[in-house]
A = this chain, B = another copy of it.
Amino acid sequence: MDVTIVEVSPRDGLQNEARILPTDAKIELVRRLIEAGARRIEAVSFAHPRLVPTMADAEAVMEGVPRVEGVSYAGLILNQRGLQRALATGVDEVNVVVCASEAFSRRNQNCSTDEAMAAALEVIDEARSRGLFTTLTLATAFGCPFDGEVSLDRVVELAGNGAAAGVHELALADTIGVGTPNQVRELSQQIRSAVGDGPGLRFHFHNTRNTGFANAFAALLEGVRVLDSSVGGIGGCPFAPAATGNIATDDLVYMAERMGLHTGLDLTALMGVSAFLTDQLGHEVPALLPRAGAFP
């Protein structure tokens, strides 16, 4: 596998859709993703159900998904309570989120970035000791809707904290889809230079301003080999119907495979999952491949 795609549609995709899918449909989505070749799947969030009601059935989803050799399930967590739920359900990975911008951290997690990081490092330490694969995601790493520009030095510092604590993977998230390829290059190079070859590097792009796939290409150029995407590109904000969500797995796989990189995913099967989601969500998905067709 030249590129590992972390499929985030069950979590970041469905989390931001207006229609809440029933648990059975979520499980069916995961089942179809595995059939299409997905091997790392961010299946659930253990955020508080009051804050993220779309993910309130995380335990039921994890109970229903098939256990397949080689498939790794991740759960997003924000705190110790989330970790306990994650451990109880038996996910293989936890994705611990810290917001790089102060304003976003306070609004999203009700604490400062430093407080969130201190809590995250404890959680990561415990998750590791329990044998889980751990990811530290730095959200709003490319810009914040409240603070505007986010300091590159600050993101690199936070990444260094995670690396020092032994996290397995560092993920840089362009939460609001403002990033451009030069930022990808600078973040990749400076973080690599700061943390060495310890944790793996992973990126999470949204295509909100049509830079998502250019950013993915920039990451590949930097040698990054783990990218998040969401089949159909679902996950647009329910309050802005035209906004796109995560970069679409369908379109990312098209680009990567035509560039000679192997993703292990089947494009035709992925477009079938997009059609399933279109039906389930009751609206067109933003991915373009299902409309335009594969080539050649």
Binding site for B on A (CB under 8 A): 143, 148-149, 176-178, 180-182, 207-211, 213-214, 216-218, 240, 242-244, 247-248, 251, 254-255, 258-260, 284, 287-289, 291-292, 295-296
Counted per complex, copies of this chain come to 2
Cβ–Cβ contact A259 & B182, under 8 A:
yes
Residue of B143, B148, B180, B259 touching A255 (CB-CB under 8 A): B180
Report the minimal beta-carbon distance from A180 to chain B, rounded to whole angstroms: 4
B288→A207 contact, CB < 8 A: yes
Assembled-state Cα–Cα distance A295/B149 (Å) = 9
Instruction: Give, as a whole number of angstroms, the nearest-CB distance from A252 to chain B.
Output: 8
**Chain B minimum-CB-distance residue to A288:** B210
Given contacts A181-B259, A210-B248, contact A291 B240 (CB under 8 A): yes
Q: Quick one: which of B209, B258, B289 contacts A295, CB cutoff 8 A?
A: B209
Q: How far is the CB of A176 from chain B (nearest CB, A)?
A: 8
Residues of B within 8 A of A254 (CB): 180, 209-211
Which residue in B178, B182, B213 is a CB contact (below 8 Å) of A211?
B213
Which residue from chain B places its CB closest to the CB of A220 in the assembled complex?
Answer: B181
A251 and B216 contact, CB distance less than 8 A:
no
A209:B143 contact, CB within 8 angstroms: no
List the 5 shortest-distance A-B pairs measured between CB atoms, nearest first: A148-B296, A210-B251, A178-B295, A214-B217, A180-B258
Chain B residues within an 8 Å CB radius of A217: 181, 214, 217-218
- Within 8 Å by CB of A209, from B218, B242, B284, B292, lies B292
Interface centre among A177, A258, A289, A295, by most chain B C-beta atoms within 10 angstroms, is A295
Most buried by B among A243, A260, A288: A288
Q: How far is the CB of A282 from chain B (nearest CB, A)?
A: 16
Choose among A149, A217, A243 the residue with the greatest number of B CB atoms under 10 Å from its CB. Answer: A217
